[in-house]
Amino acid sequence: MSVAIADVERARGIVTPALHRTPLLSSRALGERIGASAWLKAENLQRTGSFKARGAVFAVATLSKEQRDRGIVTMSAGNAAQAIAFAAASAGVHVTVAMPETAPRTKVDATRGYGANVVFAPDVTKLTALVQDIQGRTGAYFLHPYDDAAMIAGHGTCALEVLEDLPEADLFVVGVGGGGLIAGIAVAVAARRPGARVVGVEPSGAPAMRRALDAGEPVRLERVNTIADGLAAPIAGTIPLEIVRRLVSDVVLVDDDVIAEGVRFLATRAKLVAEPAGAAATGALIAGAVKARPGERVVAIVSGGNVDLERLRQVFAP
């Protein structure tokens, strides 16, 4: 495959000094709801507020001098934007980020706060065209937010940490947008914990990976509609699809109300502030969309916490 465990191990050597080792928290409350032992990998506590910093730091570190000198252009609804802006600033590289006009203001402000130049497209389906225009005018290097081998390898370091803290983990439940995180986790799990299952969770309003699996190739969505902006990729990545087809047990779809319940559960029972994308895995477990087998040790990845107060108000409104 295009990403191997050796790539993930190499990424770890670069990522570890730059980022946090996030905690793996046992959750009795979640375990009681699903009838299995449960843990939460709190990537919402990672630098920039999500797992995306893992891939971004490694990907930027592997760029050539020529690529760095040309600058970077990327596209994101928010978390990858912040992470790549952070990584680029740390390396002294100029970055332009194309974001949808619907991106949460907190994510836009944070991306600018890391020094990035932010430009806007009407929605996520128009980001690729905007990036291509910027590339054509500036010659900047396009760092894809999820369809990039180095990004995926960096994300896999999350699973290495989990397996050091819980070597007997049996089921990893992961939110899916374009597929970068679940691909990296699947590579690490397959190599270090053969036999463990990896299951993805996608919003029914943004089923990019599920559509790709069913069609056998990436399919561009005509419309994206979900509260989980961090999972709102308009098309699955080619590299992630290759890995998911081979190493992931299943990708299930859940409605926004399931994701919202995950946000509420994490806030009230685990005392974790998670954005909807970060709560999708937990919500799917609570709703029974992903079922643990008897005796399994379950890890839900809380992938991010970059949520604005207005979104939280909507989720908690009676």
- What residues does 99 pair with on adjacent strands? 120
Contacts of 271 (CB under 8 A, 6+ apart): none
Q: 8: how many CB neighbours lie within 10 A of its CB? A: 27
- What residues does 120 pair with on adjacent strands? 99
State the angle between helix axes of 180-192 and 157-165 in degrees (0 to 180), rounded to the nearest 10: 40
Tokens of 40: 């939460």
Which one of 37, 52, 76, 107 is the catalytic residue?
52
Which pairs count as long-range contacts for 19-28, CB under 8 Å and 24+ apart, including other chains? 19/46, 19/47, 19/53, 19/54, 19/57, 20/45, 20/46, 20/47, 21/161, 22/46, 22/158, 22/161, 24/161, 24/162, 24/165, 24/166, 24/299, 25/270, 25/272, 27/269, 27/270
303 is catalytic: yes
Which one of 27, 50, 76, 303 is the catalytic residue?
303
52 is catalytic: yes
User: How far apart are the C-alpha atoms of 165 and 160, rounded to whole Å?
Assistant: 9
Collapsing DSSP states into helix, strand and coil, what is residue 243? helix
Q: 194: how many CB neighbours lie within 10 A of its CB? A: 7
Q: Are strands 95-100 and 171-175 parallel, antiparallel or unpaired?
A: unpaired
Catalytic residue positions?
A: 52, 303
